[in-house]
Amino acid sequence: MLAEAARAATAYLAAIDGRPVLGGRVAEAAAAFDEALPEKGDGSAEALALLAEEGFDAATASAGPRFFHFVTGGSTPAALAADWLASALDQNSFSWVSSPLGSRLEKVATGWLKDLFGLPPSWGCVLTTGATMANFTGLGSARRWWAAEHGVDVDLKGFAGLPPAPVLTSGYVHASALKALGMLGLGRDNVRRCARDAAGRLDLDALTGALKELKGAPAIVVANAGEVNAGDFDPIAEMVEVAHANHAWVHVDGAFGLFARVSNSAAALAAGVETADSVIADGHKWLNVPYDCGFAFVRDPELMRGAFSLAGPYLPQGTDERPSFADYGPEASRRARALSVWATLKAYGREGHREMVERHLALARRVGAAVEAAPDLELLAPVQLNVVCYRYRPPGVAEGELDELNRRLGAAILEDGRVYFGTTVYAGKVAFRPAVSNWRTTEADVDLIATVTRELGAALAASR
């Protein structure tokens, strides 16, 4: 079965550079799985054959070079192969006792990640399923700190007797951080956005004023390193300075933006992250390891343990040498994600990953230049990182009609499938925001972004 899976996957990946992101028979292929639970079972060979035949056609080619939707990384060869071995070994990476390999590799890999991102070695770090659970981990540690400042162990006693927790951020806050705040009982709506414009840029004076109004009561500030629409950054060092002067914790959501620190050219955008209290990033985005993987870093690892440790007479106690990573994050049983993180860092090193990030930054600038050179495209924000925010704006179409035209064009681009990215709303305008983060992506791949937008846009504009 493994040999057959390897054969099918190898053939698929060998052809992926030429495959459309969305094939022509997706719905039909997906429908092939609609059947009743087999009573006796059809056998492993048949199950795998259905996956390889219909399943591959029902998938998007998100492992390939032209999936620019959301922020979607690929899998480096070393990471992908190591991830297969994680499944073959089927380790439960919750403790040293259940998996010495998983524990040791998580300790090594999280140490390497701190080094890669320029974070102090004394910080805690745990692998999670993604940035949302990493946000949950960082903000869960923040919640523990905030309640302790009020004299309450919130993880033991709950919220009784505590006031609402003040949470402040810019207009760049991501839906994932809001989801994490909701899951933590801090409230999605209980977030004050200090924004100075429609794009959501931070109003530092408003943040300072709001913190001062709290008169020293503890608070939580969420800073955003890499905003999804245009890849912009909050001024993290300034936010930390004002937050720390006013008794506030700073959590940085750097799901993809933290990788600016892996580059030479964009590192300054994420300056000051090392002075924050918790920071997160994704592995399945810009590290190019398979889904699912994220990382949470917390200055004081004891807060992570206080919030997330689990104990029972049959459960082993972790030590520094033989850690139980389940004590530092939300899951108990855990996939051995460290294998793929360790393998990609071991295989390509700091230089390999830096080279990939720099290449993606150059590709994004190339898209930005193509947009600026086209008379019917409008760049809506400077290209700072790996996201390009623009819209179709042919001469002669009134401003009031552009949102609808771009929305329809977005649907046409997804259906066309040569390149894949959706629409957003940026500063009140419907816009595109392709993001480059797959190691396979080339100049020819990104050149299709403007070409396809203009071609499909012209056809739509002509049919209006």
Chain residues binding ligand PLP by CB under 6 A are 70-71, 130-132, 174, 176, 226, 228, 253, 255-256, 282, 294
Task: Between 292 and 378, name the residue whose CB sits nearer to ligand PLP.
Answer: 292
C-beta of 100: minimal distance to ligand PLP in Å? 28
Nearest-CB residue for ligand PLP: 130
C-beta of 76: minimal distance to ligand PLP in Å? 18
Task: Between 256 and 308, name the residue whose CB sits nearer to ligand PLP.
Answer: 256
Contacts of 405 (CB under 8 A, 6+ apart): 392, 397, 457, 460, 461, 464
Please give the angle made by the CA atoms of 425, 278 and 179, to the nearest 5 degrees: 40
Asked whether 125 and 114 are in contact (CB, 8 A), the reply is yes
C-beta of 174: minimal distance to ligand PLP in Å? 4
Task: Between 139 and 240, name the residue whose CB sits nearer to ligand PLP.
Answer: 139
What is the distance between the alpha carbons of residues 237 and 270, in angstroms, rounded to a whole number? 8
Task: Between 228 and 304, name the residue whose CB sits nearer to ligand PLP.
Answer: 228
What is the distance between the alpha carbons of residues 349 and 116, in angstroms, rounded to a whole number? 9
Asked whether 298 and 124 are in contact (CB, 8 A), the reply is yes
Task: Between 193 and 247, name the residue whose CB sits nearer to ligand PLP.
Answer: 193
C-beta of 387: minimal distance to ligand PLP in Å? 9
C-beta of 327: minimal distance to ligand PLP in Å? 22
Task: Between 293 and 456, name the residue whose CB sits nearer to ligand PLP.
Answer: 293
Nearest to 306 by CA among 418, 142, 64: 142
C-beta of 443: minimal distance to ligand PLP in Å? 25
**Is residue 221 classed as helix, strand or coil in its secondary structure?**
strand
What is the distance between the alpha carbons of residues 7 and 3, in angstroms, rounded to a whole number? 6
CA-to-CA dists, residue 288 to 66, 118, 445, angstroms = 14, 19, 18
Q: Biggest alpha carbon distance in the chain? A: 73
C-beta of 249: minimal distance to ligand PLP in Å? 18
CA 151 to chain centre: 34
The CB-side HSE value for 205 (13 A sphere, CA atoms) comes to: 1
Task: Between 58 and 385, name the residue whose CB sits nearer to ligand PLP.
Answer: 385
Contacts of 172 (CB under 8 A, 6+ apart): 200, 201, 202, 224, 227, 232, 234
C-beta of 71: minimal distance to ligand PLP in Å? 5
Task: Between 29 and 221, name the residue whose CB sits nearer to ligand PLP.
Answer: 221
